Each structure stands twice: as C-alpha cells, then as structure tokens.
Chains A and B, each alone.
Chain A
Amino acid sequence: MKTMLYLNRMDRRGRVVESRKQHVRSFTQYLMELLYIAHAQIQSAAPRTIYDITGGYRTADVQSPASGYGYRRNKPSLLVASPGGKSQVLVGQVTQSSTADTIYTFDPGLSTLMPGELIGIQIGASSAAVTPTDNRLASRIPHGRSAPVAAAARQDANLAGDTSDQNLSSWYGCLYVPKKQFDLTSVKFLLYRTGNPGNITIEVKTCRFAGGTTFTILATTTSNGNTLPTGAPYEWREFVLPGPVTLLPGVPMTIWCQQAAASAIMRKYYNTSGGYGYFLNKQPRFGSSDGSQYNSILMDLYGTSPREIEYGACDVSGLTAANPTAQFDIRRLFTNRSGGDVTVRECGIYAAFPDTYSGSFCGSGGAVCICRDVISPDLVVADGEVLAVTYTPQITV
C-alpha cells in the first residue's frame, strides 16, 4: 500500500494558491502495533505497551469487560475520523447495563472523552527527520486562534482561596487537565515548611482519569525546601523543568511533589461541603482516600505556546476500487485565523485507541501517531487562508 499526500493552500475566497503532492514516507511502528493488536487479538492479561502522543506509555489490547448485557466488544482502535476542534469524541468502550434497555452511552465517563483535534490528521512546525518510532509530531500546532507565546508566561493558575495545609510526606499534587495545548516550562506551588524538608521533588507524569494511575515521568526536578519560609505569607516556589513538556488539551497529567525529609507544607483549598475545586484539577490526592474529591491545590503553571490554527473535521471516505487499484481519502481542513502566518513543516495522523480495561473500568481513550511526514520546503499558511491536507492510501494488486 502506498499513500499520496496532497497539500492544497487556499485563499479567503477558496481559490487554490499552492498545491503540492508527495509520497507519504513515514508510517510508524504504531500503525503496526494497532494492526498487530487487532490481528492477534491481544488480551488484557498480556497487553502491548505502546507510547502514545503524550510521550508516555500505555497498554493496549482488544479485550472487553466480561460483564455487561449486550456489549459488543467495540473498542474503537485505529479511529482516525473525527469532528473538528474541541468537539467530543468517545474513545473507549461503553458497556451496556445489565438492565435491559438502560444504556450508559449518553453519559460517558471522562476517561473515554477526547477532543476532536487530537484525532486524525495533524500538522506541526518541526522538520526533524522521521524515524519508525516517532510517537507524535515533534512540534504539533494546536487547534485555536491564538497568537504564539514565545517567552514563558502564565498558562493556567489557581492562585487564591487556600484554606488548608497538605503535608508532603507522600506524593501530592493534582490530576491536571489542560484546556489548551502548551509547553510547560515551570510549575509554582504555594509552600512553606515547619522543619527541614530537604529537597522537594516534582514530577510531571502521564496518567489516566480513573484510579489515580500514573505511567511515565515526562519531567522531574528538585528545589531546596530548607529555604522555604516557616509560615504565612508562604512562598510561590518555582520548579523549573529541565525541558518543556507538551501538555495536550483534555489529556490528564499528574503534577505532584514530595519532600525528602519532614515538614514541607503545600497550601490547598479544602471544601468540606463537597464538589470539585474551581480549578480544572481533579483528584488532587494520591495514596490517600480521605477528602480526595474536595481539594484543589494552589498551582501556577508557566510555559510557551505556538501559534494556533483551527482544526476542521477529519473525514475518512471515498473508497473506490477499479482493478488493479483501490483507494480512499483521509482529509482535514486547517483554517488560520490567528492573525499571523503559520509555518507547517510536518504532518501526520493520530489514531485513537482505548487502553487496557481493569475490572469494570472500560479503558481510557488515547491516541498514537501512525504516520509522520516532513514537509519541505516550508508551507506558510497566511492569516485567513485554509490548508487542506489529504492522505490517499492506495493498494494495487
């Protein structure tokens, strides 16, 4: 099977002003992984470990929970079709209740939800050479209309309303869900000490919504806790990461820290009457169960973000067969309303998969990069222009 890649840049009136065509060079190991998992019917007892678009590992298989009336083994692996932008995509298996005619599909769990922009054709700004093990675009351009933030600046924050202390004798932080993509460069927590805690270590880890499960450390660093103040007004201690970590919209990430010795204290909001914090972080406590749903830690996130472009729907259609060939199209439109030029140097395809289920839990949605290509020379999409990217896989007997 060979695949053609068509790149058509159109002006505001829809006229094609630039048209390119090249052979796709770079299907990755992760396409083989998903095909292998399907062909061999890999089960959850011995799932495949694969790296998803966060750069962290996940486990994948085809197995469904054994219970559930009317379940249909529908784990939507290899899903590429997607609505645009922030539109909801259900990536995961939803079981049907044992009660006839009662279904849960219209109230899916958080773990099965992904934004449409993360599934299907992607574009990016890096010209790094392609390898078979590329697990994501090297510098993905996110969905949206914003201009870039080149110097590290506040990207998200929960700055006030702290009512309580949290000792950092065990890992503590939050499951943070970004609302938009950005490159995290440093994290500030509101801290103080009552003893000499030594170094405080922070980790940024991939994770899933359910069960507080964490997977891969994407960044870690330390700060000397012995120099923290011993009381109010506390200190917004900054942990500068050794390198930026790309956080993706809607994809949960664990950001937490722990003291080396005794008595480092993190400030948090504690709501005894229930409900989640107003900051989009959930399940802030790990390794303990008390009050876990009622805490919201104070956190200040800094980073940079690239210029955005609006992701339209990713369409998979048009299968035609005329001996000796058959082909179909995968197509997506990208509209630049960012106020400046967007320079495209790479493109690829992200395919969704649900990870391994556990018990009655049906697996979290994720995505892998099945294809990545470098575009040369640079393709510049001016403000107001539309870029149409089409992959056409073709087989010939």
Chain B
Amino acid sequence: MGDKRTTGRHRVEVRGVTSPLNPDHVVLEPGEIGAVLEWTVRRADGTVRERVARKAESYVRQFLDLLLVQMTGVPEVCPAQITDTSGALRDVAASSLNFDCAAVANIDAYGIVVGTGNGVPAIGDYALQSKIAHGVGAGQLQYGGVAFGMPTSNLSASHFTVTRDFANGSGNPIVVYEIGLYVKGDMPVLLSNSQDRGNTSASNPTVQYFCTIRDVIGAGITILNGETLTVNYRQECVV
C-alpha cells in the first residue's frame, strides 16, 4: 500500500516572465573570467514573477585596481590610489579586507547594490549612477545580508556566487535599472613620529568602498510593493 502522507513543502511556482537561460546556460568564452548576473523577482507569496540570467558585462576599472594591489602586494608605505564610490582617490594597500563584500542586512554601503541610473557603463565608472538607499521610504529598498555560494568546479569552469535580496516595502513599485558590486578597500593610516599604525584594530578599520562591477538593465526590473528582488552574481572562470 502506497504511502499517502504529505509534507508541508514549499512550492516554487513560476508565473511570469522568465528568461530561457539559467546561469549554467550563460557561457563565457574559454579563458574568460566573468560574472553571470541572475535576478529573480518573487511575489509576497513566494511565487516567482520574473527570472532572468545573462552575462554580466561590466567589470569596471576598480576591479583591476584592487587585483593589481593584491597581486603586487602594494605596501602601506607607498599605497596605490583608487577611486572610491564617492569619486575620491583613496590610498589602498594589500590587505585581507580588500574585496570584502560580506555586508550584513540594512547596509547599503557595500555588497551587491542596485540603482535607478541607466547610463551606459564606462570603464571608469566608480559608482552606480543613482543608488537606491536602504529603507522603507519612498524609492527605497530593504537590503538583505550578502550571502555566498562556495567555489565549485566542473570539467570546464569554476565559480562562486554572491547573492543579495532587496525587499520593496516602500508602498510603491520601484524600477531597478542598474546593479553593481561594491567591495572594501583597506586604507593604511600612518602616524607621525611612530612606527605604529592608525588603524589599530578590527573595530577601527579604515576602509572605503569601491565599485568593481556595474551592469545596466535596459528594460529595468520592476519590483512591486511587497515583492523581493534576488540578485546573484556568479563569478566564474572557464578553461
């Protein structure tokens, strides 16, 4: 006799716009390092209204700047200068904090960020054109914590994933036109007449934020009030 017991499993139902692609279908060229951008819009009841995956197009200059700082081992006594998300040049040296994007909930200063600007990406972009702030006020989205999918490989590719939720509690629809990744850069602080450093503990870090990816979504992503946008950046390299 068959077992007819049931469990209270969640059902994920897609009723809306979906792209024919999933992240595994977005193919980078052999030898390429890139990101696959995937977004999902869920209704308040958890059903998926929109799911799209595409190749992210826009590592911007600061990604290479920070990579070069790490690869060179730039010392704090002669740091490199990198443009932060405010447009200011900042001194940055090699550090464990560089590339940190593990922002917790409510923090919109770094991690995956979203905005409403739709200007064509340029290599020198140092910030989103118009970042949406965290909150429940008009035009605001609630930023969740940044989560990660751990590195894995198959026969041809390796990747890890950075994920963040954005919940719309503003009372009105919000249209997202740009998505980016802001990461930390560690700025050395030297003190006069001392060999000690100004940034003396983990509770007193001297970091600034740097934009490493900016993507523009031409058609926009509409998030109705009560809906949640989930953004995945899958950073990947292909042999």
Residues of A near any B CB (own CB < 8 A): 1-3, 23-29, 31-33, 35-36, 38-41, 48, 62-64, 66, 69-81, 96, 100-101, 103, 130-133, 316-317, 319, 321-328, 330, 351, 393, 395-397
Contact = CB atoms under 8 A, between A and B. Distances in A.
B67 A33 contact: no
Contacts of B194: 100-101
B72 A316 contact: yes
A322 B150 CA distance: 34
Nearest to B206: A72
A327 B153 CA distance: 26
Interface string B92-105: 01111111111000
A1 B203 CA distance: 35
A36 B150 contact: yes
A9 B124 CA distance: 35
B182 to A, nearest CB: 11
Contacts of B156: 132
Interface stretch (B2-10, B27-35, B217-225): B27-35
Contact of B99 (A35, A76, A322): A35
- Among A27, A321, A351, A397, the one with the most B-chain Cβ atoms within 10 Å of its Cβ is A397
B109 interface: no
Interface range, B side: 35 or more
A80 B72 CA distance: 6
Given A27-B239, A32-B158, A74-B96, A39 B183 contact: yes
Contacts of B63: 1, 395
A38 B96 CA distance: 7
Interface string B138-157: 00000000001011111111
A28 B156 CA distance: 9
Nearest to B62: A326
A132 B158 contact: yes
Contact of B64 (A29, A70, A319): A319
Nearest to B236: A32
A33 B201 CA distance: 26
A1 B34 contact: yes
Contacts of B99: 35, 38-39
A328 B70 CA distance: 13
Contacts of A79: 70-73, 94
- Among A32, A130, A316, A328, the one with the most B-chain Cβ atoms within 10 Å of its Cβ is A32
Interface in B37-72: 57-61, 63-65, 67-68, 70-72
Given A36-B151, A101-B195, A78 B67 contact: yes
Contacts of B157: 132
Contact of A73 (B68, B97, B148, B155): B97
Nearest to A66: B202
B71 A351 contact: yes
- Among A36, A62, A327, the one with the most B-chain Cβ atoms within 10 Å of its Cβ is A36
A76 B98 CA distance: 10
A324 B237 contact: no
A328 B116 CA distance: 31
B123 interface: yes
Interface string B72-105: 1100100000000000000001111111111000
B95 A325 contact: no
Nearest to A349: B71
- Among A36, A72, A132, the one with the most B-chain Cβ atoms within 10 Å of its Cβ is A72
